[in-house]
Structure 1
Amino acid sequence: MKQLTFILVAFAFFAASCNNAGQTQKSSESKETVAETGAIVFDADSLYAVAESLIDEPVAIKGYVTHTCEHSGKRCFLTGEGQKYSIRVEAKGDIGSFDKELVGSQLKVNGILRERRLTEVEIADMESSVNEKLTKEEASAETCEAELANINEMKDWMKARGKDYYSIYYVDGLNYEKVHN
């Protein structure tokens, strides 16, 4: 449940921009070499285990489309078989936009892995905003509790790694193809 709420908070954080963005082990099924790019094809869930070492590098990611931004189509979100993580894909390169009809489809996206760092100050501001909504009863207590739990997970992640920021990984998608099973 915590992981689902984390995905929802991350989604909410980036969904607002649509109008103008734990560890797993790699499995042999989740990667394969792509001859034309030299990239490894990662399952959306397995990418997080090695993401830090692949920032600004070419990657290929395979996953199921859970959402496309309906106003601009400039981003979509992919999740893996285990649905443990979700990763945002920005429409760049040959990708004009992502059609909403892609939701539920499996894609293989070639692109460049990027990182967005949330600073301690930004996270503290998020926490203050949630607490303010809670005191003003602008949102349900359940929603605020879920958001606060995700913020605490971010803080725990930073503390466990000795970092003063929280990493959000995303892919600047250069091209994609539908995967037919």
Structure 2
Amino acid sequence: MKIGIILASIREGRNGEAVAKWTFDFAQKRQDGNTYEIVDLKDYDLPLLGTSPSNDQAKFIQAWSEKIASFDGYIFVTPEYNRSIPGAFKNALDYLQPELHNKPVGFVAYGGLGGLAAIQAYRTSLAEQEVATVRTMVTFSLMTDFENMSDFKPQTYHDHNMNQMMDQVTRWAKALKTIR
């Protein structure tokens, strides 16, 4: 299976880059037969949905659509902003429909409370886009998994949930591929 590790923050000084790299490295060490790729939302200059895109932005919209469509499943690496989803990523998801249908997503979240409110918001929104969200999630606290709330130092007890979440994404990706 081809699994996209999607970095959902475009904020300057974001913690997400370190979390996405850790997620990718963790996935690679599993040697589970899947192919993993980090996709950084910051690489796609997407306009607000509903506005007229420039020619360059139209190319980014197309590239975003094609990249997301190329995966069998996803791991969203996401912060929690104001008890919800990062606005830029919600906008990016709204550009997608068939690219996401009948595919699974797992969550690696971080925030003051581990990103739980963002995950709940994703579950509601993604159900409308026919995305299967897996049960197990990985939640990093800015207080215990980051030094000075910026230097990522994950606790080893997260490894169990990470393995379980990745197993669930893989199983669902294989199962859902039969109906796509």
- If the TM-score is normalised by the length of the shorter chain, which range does it land in? under 0.3
- Considering fraction of residues, name the structure with more strand: 1
TM-score, structure 2 length as denominator?
Answer: 0.28
TM-score, structure 1 length as denominator?
Answer: 0.28
Q: Of the two, which has the highest radius of gyration? A: 1
